């Protein structure tokens, strides 16, 4: 299986200079992190209004709209922003900046607007085109640099484009498969991306940022953890029997928990910019355990899904967005009070959305509302805190 090498933002040699102009368009993380954080806060409010009947019926209605937009809107924007930024470091080749980057952001925004309209084919086209265009834009520097070890990221973006097509064509009646099945495949792809990235950055950040930490990786644990996610993806594509799916998810839960313990999370409690990543990753084995329980009818599928999306993805995203924004704008890699508050709000949203309904099912409705409030506050705080960071030049005057 290909692996990736990730390092903290390098100072020498400098990567190719981004085009001059507004700082917002000089590197992928800037507009996509800002757009994603604003969207994460606002879309949950829109979802609540639509659920209450205060908004007109959308093309993607009810839970499908909520799930689609958090995955293909919020999560995909963060993934693209990160890959454009990391891809420049991995290849020492330029990734989209300036006009091309702005065009991709506009395509992403168009997709967000079109799903609120009755123009189903236009919404489908925009939502498939965005990850496909991002894949092509990422493939160019990889091919130029001969960076084969990271080609699989291009494949994952294309898989997300295919999953988006599955959802929309199913909704339009062109395909006989249910749209929710396409969303599940996309969730598995996102789980694989999170698992790969976490396996590279969390141990490294732990050892670099925590004195005395000895986070390790064991090859067989890595193979079991990542292999279980790929097996789960294949199982969802093939629609295997529930019993086999439960076994795959349960084995994955054990492998990912073992992997997490090898990273020594208990050593990071005094370092928020590191512990937030550990806290987020713990939700991966929780998700897999709940997924196994859900397919056997022992737990709610919604709880399993939100353990991944709110807990693992939300926590990893808020942690990596603060770290990337700081590192790539020449700021200290140290969380301030606003950062810690955003971490606690997002991780609190996960606890409310998953743990409270699991323990006290009668409080599920209140838990959803509380979780939505905490989530919106956490990402709204990030957007407010990092707006000037993302829109102004680096402190050291370098490009990016």
The pLDDT tens digits of the residues spanning 163-177 come to 999 999 999 999 888
Q: Kindly state whether residues 206 and 330 are assigned to the same domain.
A: yes
Taking alpha carbons only, the member of 280, 271, 262, 114 closest to residue 197 is: 280
Residue 156 lies in a domain: yes
- What are 255's two structure tokens? 């492998």
- pLDDT tens for 346-363 read 999 999 999 999 999 999
- The segment with the largest mean pLDDT, out of 18-32, 47-61, 171-185, 224-238, is 224-238
**What's CA 262's distance to the chain center, in Å?**
23
- What are 97's two structure tokens? 């900046």
pLDDT higher than threshold 90 for residue 7: no
262 Cβ contact partners less than 8 Å away, ≥ 6 residues apart: 203, 215, 216, 217, 218, 221
Q: Kindly state whether residues 213 and 328 are assigned to the same domain.
A: yes
Q: Kindly state whether residues 242 and 124 are assigned to the same domain.
A: no
Q: Kindly state whether residues 139 and 213 are assigned to the same domain.
A: no
Q: Kindly state whether residues 165 and 50 are assigned to the same domain.
A: yes
Residue percentage of the chain with pLDDT more than 70? 92
pLDDT band at 64 (very low <50, low <70, confident <90, very high): confident
pLDDT higher than threshold 60 for residue 6: no
Which residue segment(s) compose the domain that 73 sits in? Answer: 23-177
Q: First-to-last CA distance in the chain?
A: 31
Q: Kindly state whether residues 273 and 145 are assigned to the same domain.
A: no
pLDDT band at 54 (very low <50, low <70, confident <90, very high): confident
Per the structure, the count of domains in the chain is 2
Q: Kindly state whether residues 383 and 236 are assigned to the same domain.
A: yes
Residue reference for tokens 């050593």: 267
- pLDDT tens for 302-351 read 999 999 999 999 999 999 999 999 999 999 999 999 999 999 999 999 99
Residue 191 lies in a domain: no
Backbone angles phi, psi at 97, to 5 degrees: -140, 175
Q: Kindly state whether residues 226 and 104 are assigned to the same domain.
A: no
DSSP 8-state class, residue 75: I
pLDDT higher than threshold 50 for residue 14: no
375 Cβ contact partners less than 8 Å away, ≥ 6 residues apart: 40, 41, 44, 310, 314, 345, 346, 349
In this prediction, residue 177 carries a pLDDT of: 86
- What are 296's two structure tokens? 């056997």
pLDDT band at 17 (very low <50, low <70, confident <90, very high): very low
Q: Kindly state whether residues 252 and 159 are assigned to the same domain.
A: no
Least confident residue range of 3-7, 199-203, 265-269: 3-7
- pTM for this structure? 0.92
pLDDT band at 147 (very low <50, low <70, confident <90, very high): very high
In this prediction, residue 60 carries a pLDDT of: 72
Residue 190 lies in a domain: no
Q: Kindly state whether residues 163 and 242 are assigned to the same domain.
A: no
In this prediction, residue 10 carries a pLDDT of: 46
Q: Kindly state whether residues 214 and 343 are assigned to the same domain.
A: yes
In this prediction, residue 188 carries a pLDDT of: 97
């Amino acid at each position: 299986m290909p692996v990736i090498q990730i390092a903290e933002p390098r100072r020498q040699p400098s990567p190719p200079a981004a085009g001059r102009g507004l700082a917002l368009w000089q590197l992928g993380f800037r507009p996509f992190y800002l757009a994603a954080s604003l969207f994460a806060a606002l879309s949950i409010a829109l979802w609540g209004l639509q659920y209450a009947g205060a908004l007109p019926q959308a093309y993607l209605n009810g839970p499908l709209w909520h799930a689609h937009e958090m995955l293909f809107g919020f999560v995909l924007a963060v993934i693209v922003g990160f890959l454009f930024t990391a891809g420049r470091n991995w290849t020492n080749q330029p990734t989209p900046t300036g006009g091309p980057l702005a065009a991709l952001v506009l395509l992403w925004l168009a997709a967000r607007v079109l799903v609120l309209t009755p123009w189903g084919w236009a919404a489908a086209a925009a939502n498939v085109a965005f990850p496909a265009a991002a894949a092509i834009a990422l493939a160019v520097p990889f091919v130029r640099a001969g960076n084969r070890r990271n080609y699989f990221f291009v494949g994952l973006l294309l898989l997300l484009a295919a999953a988006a097509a599955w959802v929309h064509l199913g909704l339009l009646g062109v395909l006989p498969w249910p749209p929710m099945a396409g969303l599940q495949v996309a969730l598995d792809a996102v789980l694989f991306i999170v698992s790969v990235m976490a396996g590279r950055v969390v141990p490294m950040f732990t050892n670099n940022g925590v004195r005395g930490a000895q986070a390790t990786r064991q090859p067989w644990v890595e193979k079991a953890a990542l292999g279980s996610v790929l097996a789960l993806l294949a199982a969802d594509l093939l629609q295997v029997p529930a019993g086999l799916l439960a076994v795959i998810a349960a084995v994955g839960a054990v492998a990912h928990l073992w992997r997490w313990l090898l990273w020594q999370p208990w050593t990071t409690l005094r370092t928020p910019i590191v512990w937030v990543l550990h806290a987020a990753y713990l939700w991966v084995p929780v998700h897999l355990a709940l997924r196994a329980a859900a397919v056997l009818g022992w737990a709610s599928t919604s709880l399993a899904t939100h353990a991944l999306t709110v807990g693992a993805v939300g926590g990893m995203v808020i942690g990596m967005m603060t770290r990337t924004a700081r590192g790539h704008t020449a700021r200290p890699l140290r969380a301030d009070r606003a950062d810690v508050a955003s971490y606690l709000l997002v991780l609190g949203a996960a606890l409310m959305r998953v743990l409270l309904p699991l323990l006290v099912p009668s409080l599920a409705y209140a838990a959803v509302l509380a979780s939505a409030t905490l989530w919106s506050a956490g990402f709204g705080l990030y957007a407010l805190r990092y707006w000037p960071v993302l829109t102004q030049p680096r402190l050291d005057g370098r490009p990016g």
